[in-house]
């Protein structure tokens, strides 16, 4: 539907991504959902061989020198396989590597980005702690400076790729006395002595992505594995919020769309009262709503991707990516809800994939920052942009466009 926005080069990449999606055996999808596969290494290896990961990074580091619009398009295509495929694809290549590309040294890019994009090694991102995920700046994992290395101690949980990854992007407190935002640093931690992953969660959906609890006990981290500046992990955290939220939004659309397609086919054939159920507006209007929500979501992510590519004001980008994450994940969940509803009882069974998609997509509004946290950021940025000191509209003072606008005595605020 939005293919008209894509360049020739992007369409070629889209077709390559589709070929890849077609090549994945059904058995892998089912085995992951059944927890028979704990981490889909073969899937990532093949994506790497086809050079599909990290397309927006410079060719020098294994990307294709493309942009955020291209990334959103690829994430949508991969999402079609299932949400967890896009999660594992995204976490290593689009999140962890994004941080290294933007903040890392050339040596770090050589060692950690290049082989990951080729599908030779795997990575996970460790923000959330058992203590909590929303309050990121309350991080209690510590990394003590021991002269020639840092000593890392702490626990993280729900880490996609925790089981399977070769290295981890870990945030830890390096200055316990500094104010919360100023005392956290970011590290690239190899799976060495003291790094333990436990695959222990009975997940509702999104199984097979290696989601694990990570325990770091007296792990020696080499000084050169500090990513970015000491105590300035916040810089990395801030830039990572773009791939976290925009990437999540894009892949959610791809993961939801098959449910709507299946429901459209089913309701065209299924009869009740002698008619295809799609002939009843109670049914077709729910499909109409689902399709509208998917297209509105696509419009939103492509507009946001353009905003990131054009490097507009960073505060506006923060609001736009948060809005995209919230609006798109909730819209897609509603679209899948409608898809299941119009299929009746069969939609609730594993005769069709809609129930798996429904389970998987529930994660979308929880991970990479809950949607309540998104609302917090949106409200915060919006009020800063348009607070009480600013005019109600930049073009003209709209507040004055009322017959009794002069009635100052009625404008009571306290």
Q: Which residues bind ligand FAD (CB under 6 A)?
A: 91, 125-128, 132-134, 158-160, 203, 206, 211, 363, 366-370, 372-373, 376
Q: How far is the CB of 297 from ligand FAD (least distance, A)?
A: 21
| 174 phi/psi in degrees, rounded to 5 | -115, -15
What span, in angstroms and rounded, lies between the C-alpha atoms of 43 and 320? 31
State which residue, 220 or 362, has the beta carbon closest to ligand FAD.
362
What span, in angstroms and rounded, lies between the C-alpha atoms of 229 and 281? 58
Q: How far is the CB of 128 from ligand FAD (least distance, A)?
A: 3
What span, in angstroms and rounded, lies between the C-alpha atoms of 104 and 106? 7
Question: How many CB atoms are closer than 10 A to CB 165?
Answer: 30
Q: How far is the CB of 352 from ligand FAD (least distance, A)?
A: 23
Long-range contacts of 346-351 (CB under 8 A, 24+ apart): 346/266, 347/263, 347/266
Q: How far is the CB of 141 from ligand FAD (least distance, A)?
A: 11
Nearest residue to ligand FAD on Cβ basis: 133
- The residue among 83, 68, 116, 89 whose CA lies nearest residue 17 is 89
State which residue, 30 or 373, has the beta carbon closest to ligand FAD.
373
State which residue, 156 or 298, has the beta carbon closest to ligand FAD.
156
State which residue, 347 or 369, has the beta carbon closest to ligand FAD.
369
State which residue, 70 or 333, has the beta carbon closest to ligand FAD.
333
Size of the chain, expressed as the number of residues it contains: 414
The answer to whether the CB of 38 falls within 8 A of the CB of 101 is: no
Q: How far is the CB of 395 from ligand FAD (least distance, A)?
A: 33
State which residue, 35 or 110, has the beta carbon closest to ligand FAD.
35
Is 34 exposed, middle or buried (CB count within 10 Å of its CB: 0-12, 13-18, 19+)?
Answer: exposed
Q: How far is the CB of 146 from ligand FAD (least distance, A)?
A: 25
């Amino acid at each position: 539907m939005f293919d008209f926005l894509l360049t020739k080069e992007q369409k070629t990449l889209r077709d390559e991504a589709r070929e890849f999606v077609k090549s994945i055996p059904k058995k892998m999808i089912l085995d992951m959902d059944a927890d028979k596969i704990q981490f889909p290494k073969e899937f990532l290896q093949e994506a790497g061989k086809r050079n599909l990961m990290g397309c927006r990074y410079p060719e020098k580091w294994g990307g294709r020198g493309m942009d955020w619009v291209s990334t959103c398009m690829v994430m949508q295509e991969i999402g079609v396989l299932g949400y967890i495929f896009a999660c594992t694809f995204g976490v290593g290549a689009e999140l962890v590597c994004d941080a290294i590309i933007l903040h890392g040294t050339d040596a770090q890019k050589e060692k950690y980005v290049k082989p990951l994009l080729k599908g030779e090694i795997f990575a996970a991102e460790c923000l959330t702690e058992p203590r909590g995920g929303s309050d990121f700046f309350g991080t209690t994992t510590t990394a003590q400076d021991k002269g020639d290395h840092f000593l890392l101690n702490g626990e993280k949980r729900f880490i996609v790729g925790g089981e399977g990854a070769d290295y981890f992007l870990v945030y830890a407190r390096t200055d316990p006395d500094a104010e919360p935002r100023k005392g956290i640093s970011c590290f690239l931690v190899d799976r060495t002595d003291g790094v333990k992953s436990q695959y222990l969660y009975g997940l509702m959906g999104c199984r097979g992505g290696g989601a694990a609890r990570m325990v770091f006990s007296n792990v020696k981290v080499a000084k050169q594995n500090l990513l970015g500046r000491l105590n300035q992990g916040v810089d990395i955290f801030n830039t990572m919020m773009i791939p976290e939220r925009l990437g999540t939004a894009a892949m959610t659309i791809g993961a939801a769309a098959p449910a709507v397609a299946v429901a459209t086919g089913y309701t065209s054939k299924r009869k009740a009262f002698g008619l295809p159920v799609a002939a009843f507006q109670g049914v077709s209007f729910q499909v109409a709503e689902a399709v509208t929500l998917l297209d509105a979501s696509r419009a939103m992510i492509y507009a946001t991707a353009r905003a990131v590519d054009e490097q507009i004001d960073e505060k506006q980008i923060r609001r736009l990516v948060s809005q995209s994450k919230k609006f798109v994940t909730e819209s897609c969940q509603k679209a899948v809800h409608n898809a299941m509803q119009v299929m009746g009882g069969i939609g609730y069974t594993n005769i069709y994939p809609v129930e798996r998609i429904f389970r998987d997509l529930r994660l979308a509004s929880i991970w990479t920052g809950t949607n309540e946290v998104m609302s917090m950021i949106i409200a915060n940025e919006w009020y800063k942009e348009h607070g009480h000191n600013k005019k109600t509209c930049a073009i003209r003072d709209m507040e004055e466009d009322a017959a009794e606008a002069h009635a100052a005595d009625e404008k009571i605020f306290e």
